[in-house]
Amino acid sequence: MDYLKIFAPATVANVSCGFDSLGLAVDAIGDKMSFTRTTERGVKITNITGADLTYNVDKNVAGAVVKKILNESHADFGIELTIHKGFSPGSGLGSSAASAAGAAFGTNQLLGNIYSDLELTKFAMFGEEVACGSPIADNVSAAIYGGFVLVRSYTPLEIIKLPVPSELRVVAIHPQIEVKTKDARDVLPAEIALKDAVIQWANVGGLISGLYTDNYKLISNSLVDIIVEPARKGLIPFFNEVKNSALNSGALGAGISGSGPTIFALCKGNEVASNVYKSIEESYKKTGIDFEMFISKVNPEGIKILEEK
């Protein structure tokens, strides 16, 4: 294979109760990236569209990941890379993760698929470290594995792919404001009460059980975050209004995607998802803040090959 074009999906991390441990991939938006094998070794980024990102290979998330994999695999070829960002950096939808995961996946394909999904996740985590200083796994693993994922352990890294009920839908609104990841981290409590921890990990267990048993009521009851959301929601204008609109229109639950500002809602079925979309849209039109929205299925396969030759 000398050329490959892929779609790397946006992702929702934390999923309410699962801070830094749960994530899911969406189908509606993501990055498109192309990889061309070259005889000259090394990495060159030839085109970036959709966002103002650096062409410096060592500082660009995708470029850094491609370079690392080529070096560690002792590849006898190079790669020319193009990136089209399908959604905004800083949205809370795993923008850097899509680029990092896509870079790992595409490079691995040109190498003959020599690395496992777990190894690709580790490479993509390096990209996250380039982007924000922390090798976080929830977004990148969701993009690589697809569907829902649980980061059960970082030492050693263990990723568990969870089942996705067939009627589960994601509705999301991205207010056109910026929430810096550092700011979202800084507002988190350094310590939490034991009783809150018990509630939170019980909700994680309930959500995972609901996914395995297609129990939408259990999923709904478990989509509750009493630790992170209360600390962060003040960073997102009209968060409570959006969440209440979603829940009153039949959403199973709603919360902050990643570190925000995107707010997601999980719904059962297309009709409920459509109603939730309309309700959130109407409520946010009154705020005077620009926004973007989408409805999506949960993407079961993660990164997709669009073209190869």
pLDDT digits (tens, 9 = 90+) for 190-246: 999 999 999 999 999 999 999 999 999 999 999 999 999 999 999 999 999 999 999
Q: Which are the catalytic amino acids?
A: 128, 181
pLDDT digits (tens, 9 = 90+) for 24-79: 999 999 999 999 999 999 999 999 999 999 999 999 999 999 999 999 999 999 99
pLDDT digits (tens, 9 = 90+) for 5-23: 999 999 999 999 999 999 9
pLDDT at 160 over 80: yes
- CATH 3.30.230.10 location in the chain: 3-162
Mean pLDDT, range 298-305, rounded to an integer: 97
Is 150 in contact with 159 (CB distance < 8 Å)?
yes
Write down the pLDDT at residue 181. 75
Residue spans of beta strands (DSSP E) within the chain: 3-13, 22-38, 42-49, 78-84, 148-154, 157-162, 168-175, 253-256, 263-268, 291-297, 304-308
Mean pLDDT rounded to a whole number for the chain: 96
Mean pLDDT, range 107-132, rounded to an integer: 96
What is the topology classification, in CATH, of domain 168-297? Alpha-Beta Plaits (3.30.70)
Mean pLDDT, range 147-176, rounded to an integer: 97
Q: How far is CA 219 from CA 88, 168, 208, in A?
A: 29, 10, 8
Q: How far apart are the first and last CA of the chain?
A: 6
User: What is the pTM assigned to this prediction?
Assistant: 0.95
- CATH 3.30.70.890 location in the chain: 168-297
Q: What percent of the chain has pLDDT over 90?
A: 93
The CATH classification of domain 3-162, taken from the options 3.30.420.40, 3.30.230.10, 3.30.2320.20, 3.40.640.10: 3.30.230.10
Exposure class string for 136-170: b at 16+ Cβ within 10 A, else e? bbbbbbbbbbbbbbbbeeeeebebebeebbeebbb
pLDDT digits (tens, 9 = 90+) for 258-268: 989 999 999 99
Radius of gyration of the chain (CA): 19
Q: In whole angstroms, what is the distance from residue 36 CA to residue 308 CA?
A: 10
Write down the pLDDT at residue 137. 95
